[in-house]
Structures are given as C-alpha cells and as structure tokens.
Amino acid sequence: MWKPDRLSKTPIYEQISEHLQLKISQGEYPPGSMLPAERKLAEQLGVNRSTIVQAYAELRSTGMIDSRTGSGTSVSLTKWGANPKQPPDWGSYADSGSFLPNVPFLRKIREMLSVQEELIDFASGELSAELSPSQEITALMQENQFSGYLGYDNPQGYKPLREALVTYLEKYRGIRTSESSILITSGSQQSMFLITKCLLSPGDAVAIEDPSYCYSLPMFQSAGLRLFRLAVDKHGINPEDIRTLYKKHRIKMVFLNPTYHNPTGTVLDDQRRSQLLDITSELGLPIVEDDPFSLTSYDGIAPLPFKSMDRMGSTLYVGSFSKIAASGLRIGWMVAPHTIVERLTDARQQMDFGLSVIPQQVAALFLESERFEPHLERLRMNLRFRRDIMIEALQKELPGLVQFNVPDGGLHLWCKLIPEVNDNKLFESAIKQGAIFVPGSVYGSDSGFVRFTFARPKVNEIGPGIDKFAKALREIVNLSL
Amino acid sequence: MWKPDRLSKTPIYEQISEHLQLKISQGEYPPGSMLPAERKLAEQLGVNRSTIVQAYAELRSTGMIDSRTGSGTSVSLTKWGANPKQPPDWGSYADSGSFLPNVPFLRKIREMLSVQEELIDFASGELSAELSPSQEITALMQENQFSGYLGYDNPQGYKPLREALVTYLEKYRGIRTSESSILITSGSQQSMFLITKCLLSPGDAVAIEDPSYCYSLPMFQSAGLRLFRLAVDKHGINPEDIRTLYKKHRIKMVFLNPTYHNPTGTVLDDQRRSQLLDITSELGLPIVEDDPFSLTSYDGIAPLPFKSMDRMGSTLYVGSFSKIAASGLRIGWMVAPHTIVERLTDARQQMDFGLSVIPQQVAALFLESERFEPHLERLRMNLRFRRDIMIEALQKELPGLVQFNVPDGGLHLWCKLIPEVNDNKLFESAIKQGAIFVPGSVYGSDSGFVRFTFARPKVNEIGPGIDKFAKALREIVNLSL
C-alpha cells in the first residue's frame, strides 16, 4: 500500500491529495464513486485525521470531489463536462450476485492486520513462518527440474500428487483409495465451496457442529442452505442428534470436523464415531469429514477418520496441507465416490480452470521426500510447546477468569471467559492494546468465547500477547485485580 | 489411469474384474451406484468390449454387481447384508446445485484427449510445450530463493506481482494504474467467473459477441443471465447494436474480446473502439474487456485496449498469462475500480482463499526478467509460422472447401466450411481419423464452422493433422476429389 513520504519536502496532505488525484484519473475511483472515509484513510496511511481533512479540502477546491455532511466524499460527476457521460453505478453492481460478504469481524481482522503490522496475531488460523517448512520447500524447488508441461493440467489435479496422496492417506489416515478417487482443490476451502454450491440446492437443510468453523464461512448462507446445529460437548457431537434433525428437517448432509475440531479442539470419541456411521448409513445420509488437523496430533496418534471405516461410501473426505505445512501452497484434496469427483471436477474447471501445476509438483515432492516426516515431528513438538506457553500465560495473567479444555492437537485454544463481556468491546479493546483474536460468535457461539491461535504469532509473542489481552479484558470488565 | 498389464499371466478380464472389485471396496463405486458403460470402459482401457462383458460377468457371478438390460450395471445393494444400511443417493446429489455441466463437445474433447494420446490436438486453446517458456521458468526457479512467507497471501494477490503488472500494463497496453487496482485471479477464467457470479444477478441481460468464447462457458447460464448477441463482422462488432440492445433489454454489461477475438481472430477497429466508449459511457454501461491475445500480435503492434482510453472508469480489464506464456501457471489479472476490486477480493477469498504464492512469485520474476521480451519475440515468430503452415495445408488439402480470414494475432484459425456438414458427424469422423478440433457451434455459431488452434499441436503435426481433417470432411460429404 502507498504511504506518504515523511522525508519529502512536499507536505503530507499535498502528497495525499496528489496520490488521490492520480487514482481518480486512473479509474480506481470513477466519477460518482465514494472515496474512503476520512477516519479509515487516516488509519490506513498512519496519519492524523486532520491531514486527510486538509487533503480532501485541497481536492474539493479543484472541483474534483464533492463532500456532503453525513454522506461522505465522492468523486465529482459534473467536473467531467457538460456532455451526458456517466460511469457505471459500480456500487449497485457490487451489491449484486449471490455471494454474501465475509463476516464483519473477519473483514475487520484482515484490515487491521494489513495496516497494523505490530499487532500480535492470535486470529489467523495458520502456521507462523517459523513452523512452515520454508527451507525444505525452497530446497526441493532448487534440487528438482520443473520441466513438466506448463499447459492446462488434468482438471482433477496433477497426477503425481494424487498418486503421492494415495500413499499418504493409507500411511497416515488408514484410508485405502486410488488416484481416480481424489480431486485436488485450493485448500479445504475450495472443497467446501464445491460441495455447498454443486451438491446441494438452495433451501436444503444441513447439520453443522455448534460451534463450528463453518459459521465463519458465508458460503453456506450464499448457497441458500438452512443450517441446523449439533451441540459439541467434551467428546464431540451426540450422533443421536443427527437422527432427530433428519426426522424433523430432512437434513441432506452432515458437516463434521471430528478430530481436533475447530474451534474447540475436541476429538469425537471412538464409540460415537461408529455410532455415527451406523446412523448415517441407516439414513443414507452423506458426511463431509473435514480433517485438516489430524497430523498435528501432539503425541502422534490421532483417531482414524470415518472414511477409513466407511464401507458404504457415505463420506466425502476433505484434507489439506494448510495446517500441517503451508497454507500459501493452497493444496487441499477430497476423496469421494466416482460420480462426485466427476461432477466437482467439471464444476471446478468452470470456476478457475484448475490449479497451478507448480505448487502441486512441490507438494508431491515434499510428501515423498525424506524431509516430510522430520518436519511433522518438529511441528508437533513446537505446537505442544506453544500450547503450553499460552496456557501458562493465561493462568498467570487471568487466574480464574478463563476456562478451557487442553487440546491434544490443532492450532487453537478455545476459551470461555468467566466475566460477562461484550464481544465487540473486548475485540476493540484488545486491538488497542496490540493483540487480535477471533471472537467466538464468529463460530456461532454466544458472547464470551474466544479462539486463540497459538500457531500463528512468533513464539516469543505469545506471552506478551496474552498480557495485552488480559489488560484489555480487565479494562472492559473494570476489575481491579 | 490404471490399465491392464498385457504381459501378466492373469487374463485381462480377470485383472479388470479385480480392479473394479478394489474400487468398489474402497467406496469409489458405492453400493447402488452405476459402473461405467461397457463400451466406454472398453474405450478407456483400450480393450475389446467383449473383455469388459466377461469382467462384468465375473463380478456378477460373485453377486457384487447387478445388470439389467437397458439400464446398465450397478453395484449390488443386497450383497451388503440384510441390515437396512444404504449409501447416499450420490446421483441425485450430483444433479443438485447451480452449476450446469460443461458443454458436451468440450467434455468429449477432454475425455478423448485423455484416452487417445496420439490424437492431433487442434482443440485445446493454449500453447504447446515448444512455445511455453519452460526453460526460462525452470531457470528462474532455480536461481531464486523462494524464502517468502508461505502463509495465506494477500487476498488481492501477491504484491510484487501486482507491482510488476503495473509496469507491464503501462509498457505493453498503455494502461496507467496502481497495484491497489489489480486483483490477481486464476487465469481469465476466474475473473469472468467472479464477474458473472458477484456483479450480476439471475435474470440480468448482458451483451456478448456472436460467435464468442463465452458461449463455451456454462457460467453465464449457471448465473442465470440472459445473453444477447452482438454480431461480429470483419472489423468486430457494430457499437450501435449496443444501444439497440440497451433500449430493448436493459442490458447491464457488455462482454468483449476486441483484439484477436476468440474464435474469429478479428480486431475491433479504432473508429469503432472510440464510438463504443462514447456509447457505453453515455449509457453508464460497464464493459468487460477480455484481452488475452494482444501480446501475441505477429507484427508486435496490437491496438490499445479500451481501458487505456477510458476516462470514466467504465471498463473491467481482464488479462492473463495463459496465452502468452503458460496456462499451467494459472495467473490472470483484473484492473477495476476500487469498489469492484474490494468486492471480488472478498468473494474470491470465500471460494478458494486465494492463489498459491509460488506461481505468483514465478510470474513476477518472469515479467521483470530479461528473458520475457525475447520469449515474446520468439512466440510471435513461431505463431505466425504455424499460422502459415496451417493455411498452406488447408489450401493444399481442401482447395475451395474452406474460407477464413488471415489473423494477425492469437492462437486460432476460424474456418467456414463450404460443403454443408453436420457438426457432430464431422467431429466424430475427424477423431476416427486422428485429429480433434472445436466445432463452431460451441461458440454459438451455426453448423459448418470450425476452430483450429495452430498453437497447440507440435509444429510437424499441423500438416498431417489437416490432412486427417480433410479425409474426415471428404468422407462425410462424400466428395470424390
């Protein structure tokens, strides 16, 4: 993002006004469109609001922009002459279509992280640079010739990667499959998107854990689905609830994240797993099994997925590289019956014409290299270490004020706050203190829950970050401990 | 794809039956689902249909599958015991959702190319391996450290790539813009998908060239848009037609590929370009300008895009690496007003969480390297050479039987066949002869048009491929030349 040059002789407000003038002339802000609000722009550029006021005044004096009290600042329409030309009403185009905007908290998180680099990030659900296998991946790229054909790839995904995944799935997840049953996607996100858009119709009812990562995805609402909740206790969901929902609402699909569940970290226990398979196969009900965290298991032993026990082909199994290696590779996969793989391959081709071959080659090399297993071991050790640092910090900073279950895998700690707090106030207050997290309501829970990702900040930021959070919490509940 | 081992002592039909048994047990073909039709499977595996009949008989004798005359072969439901278990009705799930399947001709092309490797490919609209900068890209990957952060990327796209594109767009296309106006997408395909899904609503009317690449994209129908046609003559569309369509149908957007138009190769002339901008800005109508071929201009000089002349911000400009470097990189871009970039960035994040960083880094390096310009020059020279070989072959093999305009850029030759032919018959007959192309009807034209991509086959396949096509054409029109 452009920033004013503080060493320049040109006053900052003038630099800003010139910069905006350029953007207007290049069509980024067409005639009639709104300029950023003064406060927001000041935040983004790291200047005082008064500087922006001055810059806007400068532009207004040239007739290039109009301001009206209460309705913001817009690029002038009349400036462009008396001829009846007009730009498209871009605002109304942006309001069209079936995609709902992202959840406001998540948009705000993205925005704050992009403008305030020093924020301690407990919000982004991914590995920090320290935990990613960057060196391993760089080495693999330099050692190997990428002489493969750079044309459109097989729309189902790069074949050597699907073959490497056959071995991976059997070795780590007890799933026996073949490359023709695998579809490579852009992370789990694209698998979920394809399932909700292509296998379900608006008005269909589906069951989802409560809380669940799925509530943070507007794709369910965008697809017009009716969501019904499966409460999660210490041992996961209660499978009998599925039968009840089926009878009442004819649910058409069940979405589950049974191992190190996001956000709670829960593991669905073995007895419930087999009970669940019995019930869904009795009802002919498909399960979408989202399994991104299993390989993070701190003691190396995660329960086997439904897919490995499923003799009826009821499971769409979704996995990904994002939480165990690098989210920036954008490599995920789905294991599914033939009809479904064929249908989703066809639809995905229409959306983006398939994934880039290069990261798929890199992922295949990494899976088959001797570097993969040591990376996993290091990752598990480090995640456990980070979990413990976070718990220690919480116990020290907020004794008796937070409750949590200690997870055995995954990247997150799910906390219930004892004092009654307003999500929004706590969120704003923590940002002011310098730490950012995801409020539980994003995952469909009531106010007063918090998801901390201990995998994302630098390891030495975890303690100070919890300290900042504690200050924020104390401030708003007005406790004098 | 698995193929039977012809050197094994196990009879081929038995290998096939064992292979299917494995797939059934792994859930690729769940109980109740359909197995491939005998003829199709025989084609895929390269065996006689009688071998498949024998393999299915073997499976039927174990009770694992059921066949019913006229309704195909399905995996047995009863085999799985007397308990009332059932798999999901995957067929009906695959029929749900808002994505229409791909055009049948295109599905057939994909399928034939995957099973018959020796087919001469005039169908895939991309560069052959010879024309791709594979060596350049491999070299760049080996010379440079990919030490970048491998976490989720900026959802608008990798910033150094957007910065490289600012220079590229000014240098090659006369477009002055800034990185904040650019959204990186998975090829043009994803830009078009985002525009149709997020900026338009079902029932909206849009104008499209006739013929057009857009008719091959079910995304327009999937989005529920009403399509109105703008006839293309030797100099492109007639801009006044837009006003007529606007009055009659209140069209909300115009989709154009004005330079080396796909499939016809036409260039919209300069006078019509400025006339078009006048009309659309008078009506406040947005133009989607798809510009993938400009840099292939055989003499190096393509007309400037609308975007470079557009003072009203009416144009959404879409570009891509696919036709000038490597489609397998999956790098495209859109230049758009701020509101639109923001909206589409948010929606794209929901679909796939952004693109992989690695190919974006590669693309940025390539654009800024000294290897880019020589690659372009070589590409242009080679494309012109291939065009000429194809024209020579057509004139030799089918004198007086095909008409075409000679394109000055792009990858395709658009031909009108003089004899009356049935698209479907010609297509099948050409495949039998060993060459494949795209029938014109895929692009919305009447029967009797053909798109040949001269960029895709090996250079020494062009002559023999046209020879095969000529045989196919002669055969079905029963000419005895």
- Domains contained in chain B, CATH given: 12-94 (1.10.10.10), 104-131+374-477 (3.90.1150.10), 146-370 (3.40.640.10)
Q: What is the pLDDT of residue A259?
A: 98
For the cut 50, the answer to whether the pLDDT of residue B82 exceeds it is no
Tokens of A115: 């403008």
Nearest-angstrom CA–CA distance, B230 and B255: 10
Q: What is the pLDDT of residue B297?
A: 97
Establish, for the pair of chains A and B, how many residue pairs have beta carbons separated by less than 8 Å.
Answer: 390
- Please, are residues B435 and B119 in contact by the beta-carbon 8 Å criterion? yes
Nearest CA-CA distance, residue A475 and chain B, Å = 32
For residue range B104-135, list pLDDT tens digits in order.
899 899 889 988 889 999 999 999 999 999 88
Check if the interface score ipTM surpasses 0.85. yes
Tokens of B181: 């106006």
Least CB-CB distance to A84: which of B132, B178, B282?
B282
pLDDT in tens, chain A (481 residues): 788 998 899 999 999 998 998 888 888 888 888 899 888 899 888 899 999 999 998 888 888 888 877 778 888 876 655 456 778 888 888 888 878 888 889 989 988 998 888 999 999 999 999 999 988 988 888 888 765 677 777 889 999 999 999 999 999 999 999 999 999 999 999 999 999 999 999 999 999 999 999 888 888 988 889 999 999 999 999 999 999 999 999 999 999 999 999 999 999 999 999 999 999 989 999 999 999 999 999 998 899 999 999 988 899 999 999 999 999 999 999 999 999 999 999 999 989 999 999 999 999 999 999 999 999 999 999 999 999 999 999 999 999 999 999 999 999 999 999 988 988 999 999 999 999 999 999 999 888 999 999 999 999 999 999 999 999 999 988 753 4
Q: Is B114 at the interface with chain A, CB within 8 A?
A: yes
The helix/strand/coil state of B40 is helix
Judged by CB atoms closer than 8 Å, whether chains meet at A187 and B352 is answered as yes
Judged by CB atoms closer than 8 Å, whether chains meet at B99 and A197 is answered as yes
Most confident stretch, A153-162, B98-107, B472-481: A153-162
Write phi, then psi, for A39 (nearest 5 degrees).
-65, -45
Least CB-CB distance to A124: which of B152, B186, B354?
B152
Q: What is the pLDDT of residue B481?
A: 44
Nearest-angstrom CA–CA distance, A427 and A472: 8
For residue range B394-425, list pLDDT tens digits in order.
999 999 999 999 999 999 999 999 988 988 99
Least CB-CB distance to B217: which of A218, A350, A354?
A350
Q: What is the pLDDT of residue B84?
A: 62
Judged by CB atoms closer than 8 Å, whether chains meet at B141 and A141 is answered as yes
For β-strands A449-453 and A412-417, DSSP reports them as antiparallel
- Please, are residues A326 and B150 in contact by the beta-carbon 8 Å criterion? yes
Q: What is the pLDDT of residue B147?
A: 60
Interface of B with A in 394-413 (CB under 8 A): none
**Which residues of A are less than 8 Å from B307 in CB distance?**
27
Size of chain B in residues: 481
Tokens of B470: 């000529």
Picking from A336, A320, A331, A327, the residue whose alpha carbon sits closest to that of residue A357 is A331
Q: What is the pLDDT of residue A142?
A: 80
**Which residues of A are less than 8 Å from B93 in CB distance?**
199-200, 252, 286, 340
CA atoms within 13 A on the CB side of A350: 28
Q: Is A28 at the interface with chain B, CB within 8 A?
A: yes
Picking from A80, A93, A96, A56, the residue whose alpha carbon sits closest to that of residue B337 is A93
Q: Is A130 at the interface with chain B, CB within 8 A?
A: no
- Please, are residues A161 and B356 in contact by the beta-carbon 8 Å criterion? no
- The residue with greater pLDDT, B325 or B102, is B325
Calculate the dihedral angle through the C-alpha atoms of A78, A82, A88, A94, rounding to the nearest 10 degrees. Answer: 10
Q: Which of B93, B114, B170, B289 to mutate to test the interface with A (most CBs of A within 10 A)?
A: B93
CA atoms within 13 A on the CB side of A374: 6
The helix/strand/coil state of A340 is helix
Residue of chain B minimizing CA distance to A278? B85
User: Cα Rg for chain A, rounded, in angstroms?
Assistant: 25
Tokens 């499209």 appear where? B208
**Which residues of B are less than 8 Å from A351 in CB distance?**
186, 189-190, 193, 219, 351
For β-strands B182-185 and B332-335, DSSP reports them as antiparallel
For residue range B435-462, list pLDDT tens digits in order.
999 999 999 988 899 999 999 999 999 9
Tokens of A289: 């099994």
Residue of chain A minimizing CA distance to B219? A350
For residue range B188-247, list pLDDT tens digits in order.
999 999 999 999 999 999 999 999 998 888 889 888 899 999 999 999 999 999 999 999
Residue type, B286: P
- Please, are residues B178 and B313 in contact by the beta-carbon 8 Å criterion? no
**How many CB atoms sit inside 10 A of residue A392's CB?**
13
**Which residues of B are less than 8 Å from A310 in CB distance?**
27
For the cut 80, the answer to whether the pLDDT of residue B480 exceeds it is no
Bridge partners (DSSP) listed for residue A416 = A403, A449
- Output the CA–CA distances (angstroms, integers) from residue A243 to A39, A252, A317, in the order listed: 51, 12, 21
**Edge-to-edge order in the sheet of strand B287-290:** B182-185, B332-335, B315-320, B287-290, B253-256, B205-210, B226-233, B236-237
Judged by CB atoms closer than 8 Å, whether chains meet at B94 and A342 is answered as yes
- Please, are residues B94 and A339 in contact by the beta-carbon 8 Å criterion? yes
Taking the CA atoms of B331, B333, B338 and B340 in sequence, report the sign of the dihedral they define.
negative
Interface of B with A in 253-272 (CB under 8 A): none
Calculate the dihedral angle through the C-alpha atoms of B463, B469, B473, B475, rounding to the nearest 10 degrees. Answer: 100
Tokens of B456: 């895709």
Q: Is B453 at the interface with chain A, CB within 8 A?
A: no
